[in-house]
Amino acid sequence: MDRPDSKPAPLISIRNVTKVFPGGREANSHIDLDIYPGEIHALLGENGAGKTTLMNILSGIYRADSGGFMARGRPVHIKSPKDAIAHGIVMVHQHFRLIPCHTVAENIVLGLSTSFFSPLKEILKSIRDFSTQYNLVINPSARLCDLSSGEQQRVEIVKALIRGASILILDEPTSVLTPQEAGELFIILNKMKAEGKAVIFITHKLEEVLRVSDHITVLRRGKIVDSFPTEKIKSKEEEEAKKGLACMMVGKEVILKVKKKTVNRGKSVLKVEGLRVYNERGIEAVRGVTFSVRKGEIFGVLGVAGNGQRELVEAIVGLRAHQGRIYKEGGNMGYVPEDRLHMGTVPGLSLADNIILTCYKDFSGILFLKMPLIRKHAKKLLFDFNVAAKDLKVPAGQLSGGNIQRMILARELSRNPALLIAEQPTHGLDVGSTEDVWKALLAQRKTAGVLLVSGDLEEVLSLSDRVGVMFQGRIVDILDSTNAKNRIDEVGLMMTDGL
């Protein structure tokens, strides 16, 4: 972690920080880290490595059990978000902290230390000034619920800048962005860097790390395993550099590319014709969508979040009323929901109980469940899908995101579904967990049809045989995967403009 003598003093130094959660799980162990002005610092690690916990401590949301901080060489106490903001530290979370029914201006002003009688004109002027300075195009009078994910992220960044952020923490900032929006974000981050601000960038997208970061710190199991200038690894070929980073993150070699073998396609297992679905506000979210999924293929629905994908999936799985026709043929259906914790599991129930949620009748006796059979079944599935857990009694809610996703896949695929619906299946997962999920989806493609709904362009193009681009509730085009890869810039524009 040595730096050249020419480096300025750190904006913030984390010293010997340790955090232990109830149950004895050590999320962070004796962390030392310096964040310098004019630097984009990437924080890497697998799910559960302690990245977000550490940043939640730095931004005042959690309190460390031991250790402390120094700001510009002086000891400081950070016990709340208010303390963190006072030292110029602001975090933009993976799931935005905004109120949908309020306007942009109202969201930005909430919690701002300002006079009760500050004129609205002054507030709007400040928003417009910061928006212009950083090319963050937002309408202060627009309601949050009417904005795209990229626009909402801009609101969060303006919020941070108005609060005087000199250290901006971004947790998975590009997970909801198109390639064009991600490029625009990187321009903004480089402008902040040029002004002497620091950016801490949590991500699992290694190509982005190599593209924009100046320094990389890798965490594994709550400890820093390495910290070095990005130039040190940039000198290698990109694929070799990415493999090296992935290996540091998970402690083993990870293959970052999938091998998609040709599979003979069979009959349609899902047909959707003229589907119309309304959201909770009575607005038409899905507008006359038509497509089919055949056995032996992965059909990818690609789009920025908020363009009707959630309502589409909920209609197909029977959770939302709809108009139009949905035909499911060939057997049962497996469903991997976007909200893996609350929709995919019952967090308070044990792993064994969660494993049999969709097939408990198979384990029912005359009066009681057949517990020995359940334990045997659950143990086999957890082993086959590499789910890391102490025992079958552990509540599902205590697992990391990657392990929860593996458990859900194990449960759903054990039923041999004719159709598998996977909704944002790798959102927020590390490279090791992503690899496991991709392999499972490709294996299922051999015997079933897979409907993959994702906003991750790389994921959809890597896995899908055909791609339907969704924008404002419509499928604007359906392309085979080769065609989509050759027109990748055009596909990105379809996601934002429906072109």
Q: Which residue in the block uniquely carries the two structure tokens 């309601």?
A: 143
Joined together, the tokens standing for residue 280 give 């909770």
* Higher pLDDT among residues 326 and 26, named by residue: 326
Give residues with Cβ within 8 angstroms of 298, minimum separation 6: 441, 442, 445, 449, 450, 451, 452, 463, 464, 465
Alpha-carbon 234 to chain mean position: 25
What residues have CB less than 8 Å from 112, skipping those under 6 apart?
162, 163
**Sole residue written with tokens 């032996």:** 296
Give kind and range of the element (H or E) at residue 55: helix 51-58
Residue 118 has pLDDT above 70, yes or no: no
- The whole-angstrom separation of Cα 421 and Cα 98 is 29
Q: What is the mean pLDDT of residues 141-159?
A: 86
- List the structure tokens of 273: 């014709």
Hunting for tokens 């789009």 — which residue is that? Answer: 303
Q: Kindly report, residue by residue over 25-37, the tens digit of the pLDDT.
A: 789 999 999 999 9
Residue with tokens 């290996």: 247
Amino acid at 201: F
Helix/strand/coil for 491: helix
Q: Are 182 and 154 in contact (CB under 8 A)?
A: no
The mean pLDDT of the chain is 88
- Look at residue 220 and give its three-state secondary structure: strand
Share of the chain above pLDDT 70, in %: 96
Cα separation of 20 and 37, whole Å? 30
> Is it the case that residue 19 has pLDDT exceeding 90?
yes
Q: What is the DSSP-derived secondary structure letter of residue 58?
A: H
CATH of domain 268-497: 3.40.50.300
Angle between helices 431-445 and 238-250 (to 10 degrees): 100
Q: How far is 42 from 227, CA to CA, in rounded Å?
A: 10
Greatest mean pLDDT among 45-49, 85-89, 279-283, 424-428 lies in: 85-89
- 213-267 pLDDT tens trace: 999 999 998 999 999 999 998 877 888 888 888 888 878 776 667 778 888 899 9
Residues near 240 by beta carbon (within 8 Å), at least 6 away in sequence: none
As annotated, the residues of the chain forming the CATH 3.40.50.300 domain(s) are: 12-250, 268-497
pTM (predicted TM-score): 0.75
CATH assignment, 12-250: 3.40.50.300
Query: Average pLDDT for residues 84-88, to the nearest whole number?
Result: 93
Q: Quickly count: other Cβ atoms within 10 Å of residue 488's Cβ.
A: 12
269: phi then psi, degrees, rounded to nearest 5 = -105, -10
